[in-house]
Structure 1
Amino acid sequence: MAEEQIYYPFDYRHHMVYTVALYGANAPYVIKGTLVLRTYYTDSSKTKVDVAHTSDYVMDTVFYESNKVIREQLDDGYNGRRELVELSMPDLGREYRIVYNAAEVASPRYDDAILVLNYRDPSARGVAIILKRDAENGIQWLEESEARTIARKLKNMMQIQ
Structure 2
Amino acid sequence: MEQMLLLVMIVGRWLLPRGEHLSRDQKAQLLLVNIAIAADILELFEMMKEEQVKKDKELITKVLSLWSVSLIQFAIVATATVKKSWRGCFCFENEIWSLLTLLFLDDAPFLAFRLVCIIKYQITSYNSYFFAAKNMLVLALDVNRILALYKEMRKERAKNESSTELKDVDRRISITHIRR
* TM-score, normalised via structure 2 length: 0.28
Instruction: Identify the structure with the greater helix proportion.
Output: 2
Instruction: Identify the structure with the greater strand proportion.
Output: 1
Q: Whose Rg is larger? A: 2
Q: Give the structure, 1 or 2, with the largest relative contact order (CA under 8 Å, sep 6 or more).
A: 1
* TM-score, normalised via structure 1 length: 0.31
